[in-house]
Structure 1
Amino acid sequence: MQRDAIIYVRISRDRIGAGLGVERQRIDCENLAARLGWNVVAVYDDNDMSAYSGKPRPGYKRMLEDLRAGSATGVLAWHTDRLHRSPTELEEYIQIVERHGVDTQTVRTGQLDLSTPAGRMNARNLGNFARYEVEHMSERQQAKKLQKAAAGEWFGGRRPFGFEPDGVTVRTTEAAELDARGDDLLSGLSVHAVVRDWNARGVTTATGGKWTPNSVRRVFLRPRNAGLMEHRGEIVGPAKWPAIIEETKWRAIVALLNDPSRRTTPGPQRRWMGSGLYECGICVEAEEEKTTVVVATAGLSKGGQRKTVPSYRCAAGRNHVARSPIHLDRYVSMLAVEWLSRPGAVEAFERKGDDSAARARVLEREALRIRDEEAAEMFAAGQMTKAQLIAANEKTAQRRSELDQADAAAARVTALAPFRKGDPQAVWDGLDLDRRRAVISQIMRVIILPGKLGRPEGWTPEYGKEWGYFDPKYIRVEWRVRA
């Protein structure tokens, strides 16, 4: 019987490449159609698409739509497991082919007779066997991964940033970027600033793409950076590749990035140094939850003409304060450079970690990991109740959190490192806006107080040319450490 037929081909992972896996299936199905005398009206494929995952398969969905519409009364596939590995999908397919009189033929297993109870039972058995094979293969793969993880070996896959394609050899240029930008994050630089820096300098991801805040965050959270092996979200021991970020520093970065109270800058690049950093004096006095200022445009009339100028204003939207960002940023910069020029100022912020204490924390983490494994074994052997296991895990998790915080405090560096040597003014002039903001946030708190309109006391035309009506009397600076 001649039929209008649809060829459906699928492969879970195209190891051959260039779609050759599904192409070979298509050729075999076309040869089968010729032997049966069927007319092929459509070919649908799902390349690199699993039938077991439960994710929608576009080609399979189009085939079902055509069958429902009566566009074809025959289906050709290379094997039954190319069509289904899910009992739910198979039952839907059975309903459609029964209703529309569709004949299913396969290259490897012959006809899939769904018109009789025996044929449907056979199809279901084939589907169950295929599902068993997938689940069994998954078990073998997981066991192999666990074995590799225990040995500290790489699982394989896409090249990780900082390493060569073998996943073990360090790519020195990328490793240097991770190490240096890790210091920047610990010194107060935002993730968005790292994104802008890398994209501006042409530092690409491992696949050659642009960086985003999420991709930067993910790459710094990887245990492999510290030479640690991870399996299913848990660190299981040392890896066979070298660390590109010292473990204590990496743990400090992780603690910093996972801190829910951490204040981060929004995506768009800032134009003004104090936006989101300086504070509104009225909100500070009222102990409001949000006290920072942002830059907004304000109308200004001069010489009969009206123009808009930028102005620092309360981020809460209240008409509390207004100040020129040009003059205020310049004033704060002058104060910062003057403070950094004082003898001993930078050293006041230096924090030196205790290497022996850091090593002790590493050893304690390993002891906690072993304790968790022992508790799991005791639970499996019936020597510990579920409640006792949960309590033990919560106790070790709490201790790990305390160790993370200790690492963060010990490894945190300051944004003032460039000022240890060289002229403070020259160093300041060479910093970009993000790094200047990091310096300001560490050494001072800038609070804008409500001021009077008009010229400040002692104003002169010469002062006005340089500072306008800016009055430093209405700016309060609180130094975080006295030099």
Structure 2
Amino acid sequence: MTRTVITQAIIYLRLSDLRQEDLNEDGTGRTFGDRERRLRELADRWGWQVVKVVVENDVDPRTGKARPASAFKRRKVTLPDGSTVMRVIRPGYRGILRDLKSGVASGLLAEDLDRVLRDPRDLEDLIDVAEAKKINVRSLTGSLTLTDGGTDAEITLARAMVAFANKSSRDTSRRVSLGRERKAIAGEHGGGIRPFGFEQDGVTPLEVESDFLAYASTRVLQLNKKTRKPWTLASLAAEARDAGVLTSTGLPMTAEALRQLLLRRRNMGVLVYNGEEVGKLPGEPIVDPEVFRAVVRLLTDPSRRCNPQGPAPRWLGSGIYGCGIHLDGTTCNVGIGDRSPRYKCKASSHLTRNAAHLDALVQATLLQRIARDRGLVEQFVFEADKVPVVDLGALRAEADAIRIELDGLAEDRIRGQITRSQMLRGTELGLLRLEAIDQQIRDAAAVESPLVQFIEVRDVAKLWNSQPLSVKRFVLDTLMAVTIMPVGRTGHAFDPTGVELRFKSPGELPVAA
């Protein structure tokens, strides 16, 4: 065969697991530099000029790091016509096809056929471009060869080998899937990233992380009972960051990451495979099943804004301290300008106060009152904390029955057996009862308010200093009303008389959730 001289060629390298032929004699893996060098030597033997080197890899969305790119795994994509199909996503490979089609290059060099192609559709796209532009393709192993667009024998061989490579990938995928299913049923970790809250075996609880999961699950429900609003996940995520609790991949905790962790059924000792419960972990679960179910109901309820946008507060009184000029409930936030951090009215720049001095005054006044008046906190521990004994199984059964009845109302309306007003009235009553049942179950899952620990405490200051900012803000917001008042000119010194401190009466709702 006469060798065709090509002056422009592209080298294609795909980030993938090292195979036996990728190992040096000493057992170490070859780097991309080593692999590229071998392909450049092949280009020299053929007299080809390399104009581009394409290294295909994927990016892990959780870590931002490169990870092996697959020539087999497919994902759902939406085509221009709006239809959804499964495709292998490889921008680097698609870019090569565009370059070959546009004339940027007229040759392709790769290590092996299965490093480039494991999906028949990808091969046919390459054949189409090769035949149209008379492209030449070579590989180090000789498994992928197309000469001047490809001969019949070369194209047939390529199709056969891609079919076998595709089958091999499917076999491997099936074996791995079955292995993970067996492990899940047996209560073992199926491999991959270490699940948060557990050791690498996926079974043994990791104390710091498991304690935080249990704590966060309870906190979400505790404060919701008081305000009828969910506790912000941003605040709980900030607590995790302050405590040095990272995700299992070593990243700082975020509100969305925490939400996903709290919704994971492994927390209550249940193992899931393909969305179905297939096994249980040995030992006691990290989160009580009733607490977990209450958290799921809360965080998945579409009528609640469970994950408000914006950063968690970083100051004791942000959004809590009131403005003494705007008497409509306008509060103050901390601004940092040329001077030290200062509380400022949200609506204007008046009534600025030194943030550190104001927080110190409020904190000292609050702690002195708690220490002096032992009954102060107790009267604010709301009745929902005194949870009666309830039959949770009966409540869940009643809720299921109501949902069935609601479905039946819709069917009766379609058949004309009831009027529209009857359907709406029945639906309204059913939803109200469901909300009441949901609240009973949620209240039963979380027994105590953060206020309870301040009842009859001996060292108030020590307990206060050990609390995260979100708990301090909750205690302050429940017990005190702080208003920044206008004062005359006093120079640059902080004037305590310009702050109105009032202890609330039981039953007053806090300003901030």
TM-score w.r.t. length of structure 2 = 0.63
Give distance in 1, aligned partners of 2:134 and 2:107: 9
Please state whether the residue corresponding to 2:385 is helix, strand or coil: coil
Alignment of 1:258-407 (within 5 A): 258=300, 260-262=304-306, 266-267=310-311, 269-271=313-315, 273-278=316-321, 293-295=331-333, 310-313=342-345, 315=346, 317=347, 330=361, 334=365, 338=369, 341-343=373-375, 345-346=377-378, 348-349=381-382, 351=385, 357-358=391-392, 406-407=440-441
Structure 1 spans left out of the alignment, 5+ residues:
286-290, 300-306, 372-397, 456-460
Give distance in 2, aligned partners of 1:116 and 1:423: 87
Alignment of 1:177-216 (within 5 A): 177-188=212-223, 190-216=232-258
The residue number in structure 2 matching 1:220 is 262
Indicate if the aligned counterparts of 2:320 and 2:482 stay in contact, CA closer than 8 A.
Answer: no
Please state whether the residue corresponding to 1:104 is helix, strand or coil: strand
Moved more, 274-283 or 245-254: 274-283
Indicate if the aligned counterparts of 1:276 and 1:294 stay in contact, CA closer than 8 A.
Answer: yes
Report whether the alignment pairs 1:165 with 2:214. no
Report whether the alignment pairs 1:8 with 2:8. no
Report whether the alignment pairs 1:479 with 2:506. yes
Indicate if the aligned counterparts of 1:445 and 1:479 stay in contact, CA closer than 8 A.
Answer: no
Provide Cα deviations, 1:297-350, integer angstroms capped at 9, x if missing partner: 699xxxxxxx9994452x4x379x958575588458735763683438437347
Give distance in 2, aligned partners of 1:230 and 1:399: 31
Identify the match of residue 436 of structure 1 among 453, 465, 472: 472
Indicate if the aligned counterparts of 1:281 and 1:447 stay in contact, CA closer than 8 A.
Answer: no
Give distance in 2, aligned partners of 1:479 and 1:400: 28
- C-alpha displacement of 1:50: 0.9
Please state whether the residue corresponding to 2:138 is helix, strand or coil: strand
Aligned letter for 2:234? H
Give distance in 1, aligned partners of 2:398 and 2:184: 20
- C-alpha displacement of 1:164: 1.5
- Count of matched residue positions in the alignment of Structure 1 and Structure 2: 428
Structure 2 spans left out of the alignment, 5+ residues:
58-67, 75-86, 224-230, 405-431
Aligned letter for 1:295? N
What is the percentage of aligned positions where both structures have the same residue? 27
Provide Cα deviations, 1:408-437, integer angstroms capped at 9, x if missing partner: 322233112431332445534554533211
Provide Cα deviations, 1:10-49, integer angstroms capped at 9, x if missing partner: 3654588999488799499759949974557365443511
Indicate if the aligned counterparts of 1:168 and 1:242 stay in contact, CA closer than 8 A.
Answer: no
Provide Cα deviations, 1:158-186, integer angstroms capped at 9, x if missing partner: 11222211111222333233334444444
- State the Cα RMSD in Å: 5.2
Indicate if the aligned counterparts of 1:186 and 1:414 stay in contact, CA closer than 8 A.
Answer: no
